[in-house]
Amino acid sequence: MKTLISGMPLLAGALLTGCAAPEFYAVSDSAGKDGGITLVKSRVSPGKNLFTPLRTVNYLIRDPASGFFYGTVSRISPAESDGVATLRADGDGKLELAALTPVDGSVPCHLTLSPDGKFLYTANYSSASITELPLKEGIPRRGRIVAHPGKGTEKRQEKAHPHFVGFDPAGRTLAVADLGLDQIRLYPWSPGRGIDPAAPEIIRLHPGAGPRHLVFSPDGNALYVANELDNTVSSFRLRAGKWVPVQTIRPMKEVPEIRSYPGAIRRTGNGMFLFVSNRGHNSIAVIRTGADGRMTLLDAVGCGGDFPRDIALSPEETELIAANEKSGTVTIFSLNPETGGLSLKEEKLFLPKALGILFR
C-alpha cells in the first residue's frame, strides 16, 4: 500500500470536471499507526487530505448542534475499556481526540445521538447489551447498561448481538437491531429521561435472519432491515399501531457462488430507493420501495472492491461512497436520483480495513 506522510492514504484516479466534490470522513479500523480517520478534502491532491490517528475506530457520527464527533473504539489495549471517542474538528476539519469514555460493554459497533442531544447510545456486539451515555457539555459520561438476554438458532447466535441503534423519524423510539436474537427491539424514549428499558416492543424476524442494520421510511410507517446471516432484506409496515411483516427479498439477482452478507442499508431522502452493501457478492443493491412497504430489486452493481462494509449518500444525493473492508479501498459512484442508478467512477482511495463513511 502506498501512503503519504502521517499515514495519509494515496488517492488514485481523476476527478471529473464540474462542481467541487463534497468532503467526507473515511474510517480505517486498524490497531496500527494507520488506523484512524481521514478527511478527504481533495480527490486530485492527496496532500490536502487530513489524517487523525485513532486505533480501532469502527464507526463515526457527528452532532450537528455541538459540532462534536463520536466514534466507537475497541481493543485499545488490555488495560483500557472499549468505549466512545469524542473528537472535535479544527477550522480545516481535522479531528483531534477530546475524550474517551468507557461503555462498560464489549465491541461497541454502532452509535446514535438522542433527538434532544442529551444522550448517546451504543450497540455493544460482544457483550449482548446497549449503553445509554448521558452527555455533559458534549462529552459522554458513564451511563446505564441494558442487557439483551436470550439467543437465536444459528452458530453466530449463541447470545444476543446488538448491531445497530437508531431513532424513528418522530424521535419517540430507539430501535435496536439484534443479530443474535432475530429481533428489533423498540424502546420508548422521552426527552431528558432517556429510554424505558422495561417493556420494549419486539419485532420478530424469521429464524436465522440475523438483522444487522435498518432504516425507517421518511414518515416512520415502514422499516427495512438488512439481514446479515441469511443474505436477505425484510420490510415491515405499521398497521393499527402494530408492526407487521410485509416482504423479504434477496438483495441480488442470483444466488452467489460464495457466501454473501448484507452490511449497511441506506435510503434516499424521499424514501423511494434503498441501497444495500453486499459483502461477498461485492455489490451495491438498488431497491425501489412501494407505498405499502414492498420492495423491488432493480440492480446489484459491482462495488469495485472487496467486502463493502459501509455505504453513504452524499448530501445532494448525487454520489454514493463505499468503504470496502478487505480490499482496503473506498470507491465512488455517480447516483441518478431519478432512477436510483449507480455508475462506478475511476476514483479510488486506499485505506487499510476501510469500515465507515461520513460526509462532512
Residue 267 pLDDT: 98
Long-range contact pairs involving 347-350 (C-beta distance under 8 Å, separation at least 24): 347/11, 347/12, 347/13, 347/14, 347/15, 347/43, 348/11, 348/12, 348/13, 348/304, 348/305, 349/9, 349/11, 349/12, 349/26, 349/38, 349/40, 350/1, 350/2, 350/3, 350/9, 350/10, 350/11, 350/12
User: What domains does the chain contain, in order, with CATH numbers?
Assistant: 1-40+51-55+309-360 (no CATH), 41-50+63-308 (2.130.10.10)
Residue 43 pLDDT: 76
Q: Which residue has the higher pLDDT, 75 or 316?
A: 316
Query: What is the rounded distance in angstroms from the CA atom of residue 104 to the CA atom of residue 124?
Result: 9
Residue 254 pLDDT: 85
Mean pLDDT of 161-174: 98
Residue 1 has pLDDT above 50, yes or no: no
Residue 140 pLDDT: 97
Mean pLDDT of the chain: 92
Highest mean pLDDT out of 2-11, 27-36, 220-229: 220-229
Mean pLDDT of 81-90: 95
Residue 8 pLDDT: 42
- Of 150, 78, 139, 74, nearest to 105 by C-alpha is 74
Mean pLDDT of 269-290: 97
| Residue 47 backbone phi and psi in degrees, to 5 | -65, -15
Residue 244 pLDDT: 97
Mean pLDDT of 255-281: 95
Residue 153 has pLDDT above 90, yes or no: yes
Spatial contact of 158 and 83, defined as CB atoms under 8 Å apart: no
Residue 237 pLDDT: 98
